[in-house]
């Protein structure tokens, strides 16, 4: 460990302590006017020294920003490659992280201390485990220097006072908003105590200690008083425990793709009911209701006064051609763009948190997904779900925006380029999502994942596999990659337990030489039971269980369902199921 540490110190001399050493000549000519001569920032650009956002970026990513610029911000610089590399390497050296530097100790012992004796997880979440009365720490090793980690543990009050708030723009300085503990005295004389998440001149966004967001205007409170001490106490540990905890925290470099290995507490029935029966004023799903009729019973805006509407606030998502439908729950609005989700105070538009990740690689994702189409998110309890442009389903914590899990929902080894543009759909304790890209060869499907862990519950392929019912309607080689993508969000009928999902065009689209016949299941509305049983066909109402994945729901305790099921129509024309093996 000592050798590795020494090597890293040589690679990043005097990391984040001084910008003087090794400063490239081109910096003074091209960069200092915006970022300051000492890289501490200026009126036209953020600081490059001790920049938390830069700390999580690789040298190649910094190189690309210098070369290509940023939309609506920093211009591109067409420099020779050797100068680009020199600038990128120097900027990276100003922000060496605890992860890069490393810290000696027993990582396993540090993890045990974090979740058990140290009770760190009673406030902080790491990779989907823990609570959210403090920032998510899943990538803290990449975000802070080792010295900053030590100060945060030993002097949390001084550390919090020296940080800018999470709701503060990246280019600005907003002191005192770094999860400050405050007491707010309301007009009725009562007080609310909580963590200040964001604040404007006439509003504030407070996270109460029982895990709710309280959104207040200055017409609703008298005063705000800040507590002098941080909500986080100073670390109380032996030297060995402190060493091991630092070693564990310094190796936290984000959430890797894959479901959570440990089971979590089940989704509360109250959270599921809020999706089935939304509160007045809430819009908790892409279509408002699971029935997808997009009807709102609110009457304040009507045909008589709609012409008198005027803008109240604006919030900019930095993408062209937005297609998102915002969700609203308990006064918080969740808006999305490609690979981006932001939580806003719906009355003021003030940002509470914002999550973003890099866009998919050009050429690796199809059509509309590559162009940046995104139609929205789903929510359930303390979770927000987004399908990314490269067909990953991700789960974010609703209070912090921290990434809880990330799963690749494409079919392993399947041909074609998969993307996703639609909003996921929450049904019970499952999250259902589909794919885009049917204008090129692929196998369309929808898949359901457990909201708690991201584990696959079932997958239904929109095209029949050769030999299965419906495959005889496809003549020629196109069936194996015949499209029928599922890019638009479906709907759900809780009375019958049926999930409805539209499918797109077949492939090839305009030339049918390779796909003679009726081509069952393309450009249609698929109907299936949400427990993964499969398709209810118009003829015979045959329910086909997917024999390629385990199928489970909260209702059946996660047990695998096997064998085909036959459905028959009752007098009320609802489908009823019986197992063939039992007659």
Least reliable range by pLDDT among 299-308, 364-373, 460-469: 460-469
What is the per-residue pLDDT across 93-145, written as a single tens digit (0 to 9) for each? 888 899 988 899 999 999 999 999 999 999 999 999 999 999 999 999 998 88
Task: State how far the Cα of 447 lies from the Cα of 429, in Å rounded to an integer.
Answer: 13
Helix, strand or coil, per DSSP, at residue 270: helix
Q: What is the pLDDT of residues 380-431, one digit of tens each?
A: 999 999 999 999 999 999 999 999 999 999 998 888 899 999 999 999 999 9
CATH architecture of 101-250: Roll (2.30)
Same fold, 101-250 and 363-582: no
| Four-CA torsion 549, 397, 114, 168, nearest 10 degrees | 150
Average pLDDT, the chain: 83
Q: Which residue has the tokens 């406030």?
A: 123
pLDDT tier, 566 (very low <50, low <70, confident <90, very high otherwise): very low
Q: Report cis status (omega within 30 of 0) of the bond before 500.
A: no
Mean pLDDT score, 249-255: 96
Q: Where are the chain's structural domains?
A: 2-96, 101-250, 363-582
Domain 2-96: homologous superfamily in CATH: Cytochrome c-like domain (1.10.760.10)
CB 345 within 8 Å of CB 197: no
Overall CATH class of domain 363-582: mainly beta
Q: Residue 9, Cα to own-chain centre: how many angstroms?
A: 34
Task: Write phi, then psi, for 428 (nearest 5 degrees).
Answer: 65, -125
pLDDT of 299 > 90? The answer is yes
User: Helical H runs in 180-336?
Assistant: 239-250, 269-276
* Confidence (pLDDT) at 173: 47
Strand order in the sheet with 327-329: 327-329, 332-337, 340-345, 351-356
Radius of gyration of the chain (CA): 26
Instruction: Read off the pLDDT band of 465 (50, 70, 90).
Output: confident
pLDDT tens digits, residue range 145-163?
888 899 899 998 876 655 5
DSSP letters spanning 359-412:
PPPTTTS-HHHHHT-----EEETTEEEEE-TTSEEEEEETTT--EEEEEE-SPT
Residues 406 and 478: beta-carbon distance below 8 Å: no
Q: In this model, does residue 570 exceed pLDDT 50?
A: no
One-character DSSP codes across 167-212: TS-TTS--BT-SSEEEEEEETTS-EEEEEEEEE-SSEEEEEETTS-
């Amino acid at each position: 460990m000592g050798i590795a540490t020494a090597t890293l110190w040589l690679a990043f001399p005097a990391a984040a302590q001084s910008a003087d050493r090794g400063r490239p000549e081109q910096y003074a000519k091209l960069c200092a006017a915006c970022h300051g001569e000492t890289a501490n920032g200026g009126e036209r650009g953020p600081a490059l020294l001790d920049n938390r956002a830069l700390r999580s970026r690789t040298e190649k990513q910094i190189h690309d920003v210098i070369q290509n610029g940023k939309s609506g911000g920093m211009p591109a610089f067409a420099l020779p490659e050797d100068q680009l590399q020199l600038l990128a390497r120097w900027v990276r050296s100003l922000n060496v992280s605890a992860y890069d530097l490393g810290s000696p100790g027993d990582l396993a012992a540090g993890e045990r201390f974090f979740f058990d004796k140290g009770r760190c997880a009673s406030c902080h979440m790491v990779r989907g485990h823990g609570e959210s009365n403090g920032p998510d720490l899943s990538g803290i090793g990449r975000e802070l220097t080792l010295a900053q980690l030590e100060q945060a543990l030993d002097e949390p009050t001084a550390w919090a006072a020296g940080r800018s708030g999470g709701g503060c723009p990246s280019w600005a300085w907003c002191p005192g908003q770094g999860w400050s503990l405050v007491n707010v005295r309301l007009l009725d004389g009562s007080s609310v105590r909580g963590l200040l998440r964001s604040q404007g001149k006439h509003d504030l966004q407070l996270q109460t200690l029982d895990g709710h967001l309280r959104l207040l205007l200055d017409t609703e409170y008298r005063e705000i008083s800040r507590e002098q001490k941080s909500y986080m106490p100073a670390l109380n540990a032996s030297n060995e425990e402190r060493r091991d905890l630092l070693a564990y925290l310094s190796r936290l470099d984000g959430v890797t793709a894959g479901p959570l290995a440990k089971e979590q507490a089940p989704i509360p029935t109250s959270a599921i009911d809020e999706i089935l029966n939304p509160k007045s004023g809430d819009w908790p799903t892409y279509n408002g209701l699971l029935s997808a009729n997009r009807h709102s019973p609110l009457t304040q805006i009507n045909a008589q006064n709609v012409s008198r509407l005027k803008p109240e606030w604006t919030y900019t998502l930095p993408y062209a051609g937005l297609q998102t439908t915002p969700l609203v729950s308990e006064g918080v609005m969740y808006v999305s763009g490609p690979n981006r989700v932001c939580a806003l105070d719906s009355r003021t538009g003030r940002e509470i948190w914002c999550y973003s990740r890099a866009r998919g690689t050009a050429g690796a994702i199809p059509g509309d997904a590559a162009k940046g189409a995104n139609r929205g998110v789903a929510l359930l309890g303390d979770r927000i779900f987004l399908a990314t442009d490269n067909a990953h389903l991700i789960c974010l914590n609703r209070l912090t925006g921290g990434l809880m899990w990330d799963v690749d929902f494409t079919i392993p080894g399947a041909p074609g380029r998969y993307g996703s543009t639609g909003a996921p759909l929450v049904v019970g304790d499952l999250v259902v999502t589909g794919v885009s890209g049917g204008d090129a060869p692929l196998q369309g499907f929808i898949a359901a994942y457990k909201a708690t862990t991201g584990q696959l519950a079932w997958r239904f392929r929109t095209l029949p596999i050769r030999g299965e019912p419906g495959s005889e309607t496809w003549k020629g080689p196109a069936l194996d990659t015949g499209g029928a993508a599922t890019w638009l969000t479906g709907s759900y009928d809780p009375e019958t337990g049926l999930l409805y999902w539209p499918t797109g065009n077949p492939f090839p689209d305009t030339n049918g030489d390779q796909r003679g016949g009726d081509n069952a299941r393309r450009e249609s509305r698929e109907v299936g039971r949400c427990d993964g049983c499969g398709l209810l066909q118009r003829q015979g109402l045959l329910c086909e269980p997917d024999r390629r994945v385990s199928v489970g729901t909260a209702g059946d305790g996660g047990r695998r369902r096997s064998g085909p099921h036959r459905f028959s129509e009752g007098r009320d024309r609802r489908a009823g199921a019986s197992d063939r093996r039992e007659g």
